[in-house]
Amino acid sequence: MSVSHQTVTLSRGKHASPAGGACVMEVASMLGGEPFTDRPASVCPVIAAFLRAYNDAIDDRRRQDLYRYASAAVGSRASADVTRRRGQRCLDELRALRRWPFGTLVAPRTLPDSLPAMERIAGRLARELHRSGIGSHARAQRIADVLLAMGPEPARQGEPAVTRVSGCGRFRAGAAAR
């Protein structure tokens, strides 16, 4: 029997093929028509890092709630500015989560410039949310919703909508520029 995005079971970790299960980002790669990977090109790297880490931290029952985020994440890759705003949101949430004595001392004070560092912050937030206890699953889902809702700022009237695609040097011109 062939395994598809409709029949695959969400599970912890990275997988060689959907036959052994898939994490939320591997399902996103299937939905996006990409090669089977936990780092789909169409998904914002910060969102992907958050969802991958949360997928691996939670139990099997809660993990099944992440199916909707697989489809919502496809196409979320945006400009470097949007990616940075998402990373900043993760950092702000992480700092707010660490309120006990010395908690804010171990969280970075400013958002790092590198994408891998932003991914580490997003992953750390997901793991810390899981450890935070009662209500953490609902809070993680709300944060995922907020990150997915963050998009490019609308172009000002009369300006072409040109955005740099994060993670590469290509540029996209919106309909206003054509």
Statement: residue 168 has pLDDT above 70: no
Confidence at residue 162, expressed as pLDDT on a 0 to 100 scale: 42
- Give residue 151's pLDDT band: very low, low, confident or very high (50, 70, 90): confident
Q: Who contacts 135 (Cβ-Cβ below 8 Å, separation ≥6)?
A: none
Confidence at residue 165, expressed as pLDDT on a 0 to 100 scale: 41
Average pLDDT, the chain: 78
Helix/strand/coil for 127 = helix
Tokens 């705003």 sit on residue: 85
Q: Who contacts 73 (Cβ-Cβ below 8 Å, separation ≥6)?
A: 24, 25, 28, 40, 43, 44, 47, 48, 51, 148
Statement: residue 155 has pLDDT above 60: no
Q: Which residue has the higher pLDDT, 78 or 100?
A: 78
Task: Give the residue from 68, 60, 47, 58 showing the smallest Cα distance to 9.
Answer: 60
Is-above-0.75 flag for pTM? yes
Task: Give the residue from 50, 34, 22, 32 showing the smallest Cα distance to 126.
Answer: 50
Statement: residue 105 has pLDDT above 80: no
Statement: residue 113 has pLDDT above 70: yes
Statement: residue 107 has pLDDT above 80: no
- Give residue 5's pLDDT band: very low, low, confident or very high (50, 70, 90): low
**Residue 22 token pair:** 């898939």
Write out the E strands in 48-125: none
The pLDDT > 70 percentage for the chain reads: 70
Confidence at residue 2, expressed as pLDDT on a 0 to 100 scale: 62
Task: Give the residue from 35, 1, 31 showing the smallest Cα distance to 15.
Answer: 35
Q: What is the mean pLDDT of residues 74-103?
A: 85
